[in-house]
């Protein structure tokens, strides 16, 4: 990084302030001075425009009163002429007054011969639109000055009697412009009429040549070979139109002022910069407004400001030199103690805090030295504390190593728990499979029991039908043998169902034995699991109790089925007897009826036994469902315990790895801190 001296750091901002402050002040002064120029030129233009407007209003009023004079209304030459002459004599700005009738013939003139003016433009205009107005300006060769004419319609009893006209000399405007135009100050003012023609200007050439800033032309006299003005046959000077050039800024000013605007702007004109102020001059009657424009050269207007700027620049240079000398002296005074403290800081950066700074100075440098000494002392204390902390870190590292061995033991124990939980889950799954098989067998037994009940009901119905048939035996002996054969086959079928039920009961007994054995194994495994297997032990006890109850119920069902089978055998024997006695059935109808009554009782008992057995089977099915649900919950608990033990084992392993990394990091940091501490040279 590039170093900066105190001299530069002090000098640059001081110089910036010393230079920027005068510049800002000069900019503010220049802006304010320029605004003052705008304001003065605008005021001057307004005053001159007002003065010209007053002059023109006065001339308009005087001639208006004269046009309304009753003596003038007589249209009598002898009466009008003396009045006109006296009015011209009393008002120096009047050049000529003349009155003409509606036929264009003059009835009176202040001077000169009467003539016909019916062909003049102003007469034609007044006859078409009889309103008073002031004409555009024109240059009079006779008077050698610009002039304008004012025209009034002469009404008597609302009837137009004639036209009053007066030529106004505008030398007053030229004098006014001359008074307020100052070449030394670079200021000129000029007046243009409603057509853009120059009425008054400090440069008389522009007045004589009728400069038109609207049409951008001027009227000049044609010269003959000798350089004199050429004359026509009537002795008038021959003229021609020539174009003139002005800047675009000047064109905009002309357009604005002729539109009736008043303002102050900065423009470019004749290759120089001007402050332009313009104002409209309102004329009476049906007349176009005239305009006054004031131009002041920027260079001349700002000459005072420029001199002040030069003086300010000289003062600024002197101030800059003084600032440089002061800053150099101040920097030299501050450098020596700062260099001393800088050297101490370099030594401290290299690890040497044995030195101390001189606190003898009463300035900020002395405070800096005192602060350095305090800082160095605190750093030495901090380094000593860091040495102690390093020793503590070593002890912590040893303690973490001991914790690492303890956590390894915990990890192994968690691994054993996880394996035991997995084995437990496997056993529970096996138990669940056996219970599921038992559930399927119960479902089959339930279906078989339902079939037996239906057959018993059917047998009862058949017995009732047989009772009814006994009454018809007398007339249906032929069908008895057939019905007996059918009944005999059904009894045989019932005997076969009884044997099947006996087999199912044996199967239930075997399943109950297996369930008791599984419950015993589950209790043993729960005892091994300790606290985690307590809930499983309760479930296993419930399963064992349910298995014991199932065995007892199976024994009861077996006994009942044995009795049922005995009854079936008896029925079969009776049917054998009935089959043998069928030949003598016609003579033994009453005996057969008794036999069928006994048969009805036996079949009713069979149906009742089948219904009871079906209820027992339903209860066993519900118990089996509870065993299945309990086994399912045991399996879910085992799986959850397996997942939790696995996560715990992984967490322990992760913590063990983090502790190993921490031990290595602490050992490395302790070694590095010990090496770094040896590099420092501390105070005693």
Query: Higher model confidence: residue 24 or residue 110?
Result: 110
Interatomic CA distance for residues 320 and 314, integer angstroms: 10
Residue pair 264/296 in contact (Cβ under 8 Å)? The answer is no
For the stretch 246-277, what's the b/e string if a residue is b when 16 or more beta carbons lie within 10 angstroms of its beta carbon? Answer: eeebbeebbebbbeeebebeebebeeeebbbb
**Which one of 274-283, 533-542, 554-563, 569-578 scores highest in mean pLDDT?**
274-283
Residue 477's pLDDT band, with cuts at 50, 70 and 90, is low
* Cα–Cα distance for residue pair 602/311, rounded to 1 Å: 148
Q: How confident is the model at residue 234 (pLDDT cuts 50, 70, 90)?
A: confident
Most confident of 29-43, 371-385, 530-544: 29-43
> Would you state the pLDDT for residue 504?
78
How many CB atoms neighbour CB 501 within 10 A? 24
Residue 108 has pLDDT above 60, yes or no: yes
Cα–Cα distance, 610 to 604 (Å, whole number):
10
Residue 580 structure tokens? 């043998």
| Overall residue count recorded for the chain in this entry | 684
Please give the average per-residue pLDDT across 23-35, as a whole number.
79
Tally of helices (H runs) and strands (E runs) in the chain: 13, 13
HSE-CB at 187 with a 13 A cutoff on CA atoms is: 21
Hey, is 493 helix, strand or coil?
A: helix
Give φ, ψ of 147 to 5 degrees: -135, 165
Render pLDDT for 85-104 as a digit per residue (tens, 0 to 9): 999 999 999 999 999 999 99
Helix (H/G/I), strand (E/B), else coil: 403: helix
What is the C-alpha to C-alpha distance for residues 328 and 273, in angstroms, rounded to an integer?
45
Higher local confidence (pLDDT), 683 or 555? 555
User: Residue 291: beta bridge partners?
Assistant: 192, 280
Calpha distance 386→393 (Å, rounded): 10
What is the CATH number assigned to the segment(s) 9-305? 3.30.450.20
Q: Predicted confidence band at 55 (pLDDT cuts at 50, 70, 90)? A: very high
Give the pLDDT confidence score for residue 116 in this predicted structure: 94
pLDDT in tens, 510-552: 777 777 777 677 777 777 777 766 676 777 677 677 767 777 7
When pLDDT is cut at 50, 70 and 90, the band that residue 167 belongs to is very high
**Residues with Cβ within 8 Å of residue 21, at least 6 apart in sequence:** none
Phi, psi angles (nearest 5°) of residue 37: -65, -45
Contact 627, 546 (CB under 8 A): yes
pLDDT for 158 beyond 70: yes
pLDDT of residue 1: 47
Report, at the CATH architecture level, how domain 425-639 is classified. Answer: Orthogonal Bundle (1.10)
Which of residues 663 and 426 earns the better pLDDT score? 426
Q: What does the angle CA 385 – CA 678 – CA 663 come to, to the nearest 5 degrees? A: 65
Q: Does residue 476 surpass a pLDDT of 70?
A: no
**Cβ burial, residue 183 (10 Å; 0-12/13-18/19+):** exposed
- Between these two residues, 67 and 8, which has the higher pLDDT value? 67
Mean pLDDT of the chain: 77
What is the tens place of the pLDDT at every residue in 178-205?
888 877 778 889 999 999 999 999 988 8
State which H helix or E strand residue 97 sits in. strand 94-101
Contact between 41 and 316 (Cβ < 8 Å) = no
Transcribe 203-250 into DSSP letters: SHHHHHTT-BTTTTEEEEEPB-TTSSBPB-TTSPBPEEEEE----HHH
Q: Which residue has the higher pLDDT, 188 or 436?
A: 188
How much is the average pLDDT of 607-632?
Answer: 66
The SS3 call for residue 546 is helix
What distance in Å separates the CA atoms of residue 209 and residue 139, rounded to the nearest whole number? Answer: 8
Give residues with Cβ within 8 angstroms of 132, minimum separation 6. Answer: 60, 64, 150, 151, 152, 153, 284, 285, 286
Q: How far apart are CA 77 and CA 106, in angstroms?
A: 9
Confidence of residue 110 (pLDDT cuts 50, 70, 90): very high
- What's the mean pLDDT in 408-424? 66
Residue 674, pLDDT score:
66
Residue 164, pLDDT score: 96
Choose between 364 and 291: higher pLDDT. 291
Higher per-residue confidence, 165 vs 449: 165
The H or E element containing residue 165 is strand 159-169
pLDDT > 90 fraction of the chain, expressed in percent and rounded: 23
* pLDDT at residue 376 is higher than 60: yes
Report the alpha-carbon distance of residue 393 to residue 671 in Å, rounded. Answer: 10
Give the whole-number percent of the chain exceeding pLDDT 70: 62
Mind listing the pLDDT tens digit for each residue in 640-671?
A: 766 766 676 676 667 667 666 766 676 776 67
User: What DSSP element (H or E) covers 4?
Assistant: none
DSSP E strands, 222-325: 239-243, 263-269, 272-281, 290-297
Residue that has been written with the tokens 């009015």 in this structure: 87
**pLDDT at 682 > cutoff 60:** no
Please report, for the chain, the start and end positions of each structural domain, with discontinuous segments joined by +. Answer: 9-305, 425-639
What pLDDT digit, counting tens, does each position of 295-329 carry? 988 888 777 777 777 777 777 777 777 766 776 66
Q: Is the pLDDT of residue 217 over 80?
A: yes
């Amino acid at each position: 990084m590039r170093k900066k001296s105190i001299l530069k750091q002090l000098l640059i901002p001081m110089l910036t302030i010393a230079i920027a402050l005068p510049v800002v002040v000069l900019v503010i002064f220049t802006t304010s001075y320029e605004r003052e120029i705008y304001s003065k030129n605008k005021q001057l233009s307004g005053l001159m425009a007002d003065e010209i407007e007053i002059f023109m209003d006065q001339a308009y009023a005087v001639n208006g009163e004269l046009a309304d004079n009753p003596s003038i209304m007589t249209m009598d030459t002898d009466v009008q002429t003396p009045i006109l002459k006296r009015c011209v004599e009393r008002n120096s700005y009047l050049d000529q007054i003349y009155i003409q009738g509606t036929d264009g013939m003059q009835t009176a003139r202040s001077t000169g011969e009467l003539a016909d003016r019916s062909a003049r433009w102003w007469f034609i205009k007044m006859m078409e639109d009889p309103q008073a107005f002031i004409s555009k300006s024109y240059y009079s060769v006779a008077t050698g000055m610009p002039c304008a004419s004012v025209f009034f319609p002469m009404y008597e009893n609302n009837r137009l009697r004639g036209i009053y006209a007066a030529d106004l000399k505008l030398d007053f405007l030229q004098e006014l412009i001359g008074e307020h135009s100052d070449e030394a100050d670079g200021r000129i003012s000029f007046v243009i009429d409603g057509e853009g023609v120059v009425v008054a200007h400090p440069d008389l050439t522009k007045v004589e040549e009728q400069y038109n800033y609207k049409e951008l032309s001027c009227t000049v006299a044609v010269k003959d070979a000798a350089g004199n003005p050429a004359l026509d046959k009537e002795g008038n000077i021959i003229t021609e139109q020539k174009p003139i050039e002005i800047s675009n800024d000047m064109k905009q000013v002309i357009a604005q002022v002729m539109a009736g605007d008043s303002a102050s702007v900065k423009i470019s004109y004749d290759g120089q910069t001007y402050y332009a102020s313009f104002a409209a001059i309102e004329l009476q009657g049906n007349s176009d407004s005239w305009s006054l424009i004031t131009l002041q050269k920027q260079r001349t207007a700002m000459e005072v400001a420029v001199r002040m700027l030069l003086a300010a620049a000289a003062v600024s240079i002197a101030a800059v030199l003084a600032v440089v000398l002061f800053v150099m002296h101040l920097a030299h005074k501050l450098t020596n103690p700062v260099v001393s403290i800088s050297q101490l800081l370099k030594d401290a950066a290299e690890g040497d805090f044995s030195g101390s700074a001189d606190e003898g100075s009463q300035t900020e440098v002395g405070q800096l030295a005192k602060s350095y000494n305090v800082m160095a002392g605190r750093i030495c204390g901090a380094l000593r504390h860091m040495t102690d902390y390093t020793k503590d870190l070593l002890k912590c590292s040893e303690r973490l190593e001991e914790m690492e061995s303890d956590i390894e033991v915990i990890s192994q124990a968690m691994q054993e728990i996880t394996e035991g939980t997995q084995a437990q889950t496997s056993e529970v799954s096996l138990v669940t499979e056996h219970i599921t098989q038992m559930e399927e067998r119960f479902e089959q037994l339930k279906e078989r029991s339902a079939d037996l009940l239906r057959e018993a009901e059917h047998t009862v119905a058949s017995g009732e039908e047989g009772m009814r048939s006994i009454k018809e035996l007398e007339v249906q002996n032929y069908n008895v043998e057939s019905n007996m054969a059918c009944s005999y086959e059904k009894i045989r079928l019932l005997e076969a169902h009884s044997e099947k039920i006996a087999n199912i009961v044996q199967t239930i007994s075997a399943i109950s034995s297996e369930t008791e054995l599984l419950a015993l194994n589950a209790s043993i495994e729960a005892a091994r699991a300790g606290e985690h297997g307590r809930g499983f032990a309760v479930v296993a006890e419930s399963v064992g109790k349910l298995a014991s109850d199932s065995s007892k119920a199976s024994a009861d069902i077996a006994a009942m089925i044995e009795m049922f089978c005995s009854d079936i055998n008896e029925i079969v024997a009776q049917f054998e007897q009935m089959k043998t006695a069928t030949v003598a059935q016609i003579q033994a109808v009453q005996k057969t009826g008794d036999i069928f009554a006994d048969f009805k009782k036996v079949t009713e008992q069979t149906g009742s036994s089948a219904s009871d057995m079906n209820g027992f089977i339903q209860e066993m099915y519900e118990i089996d469902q509870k065993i299945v649900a309990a086994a399912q919950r045991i399996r879910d608990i085992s799986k959850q315990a397996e997942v939790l033990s696995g996560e715990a084992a992984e967490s322990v392993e992760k913590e063990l790895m983090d502790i190993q990394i921490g031990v290595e990091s602490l050992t490395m940091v302790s070694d590095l801190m010990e090496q770094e501490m040896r590099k420092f040279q501390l105070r005693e």
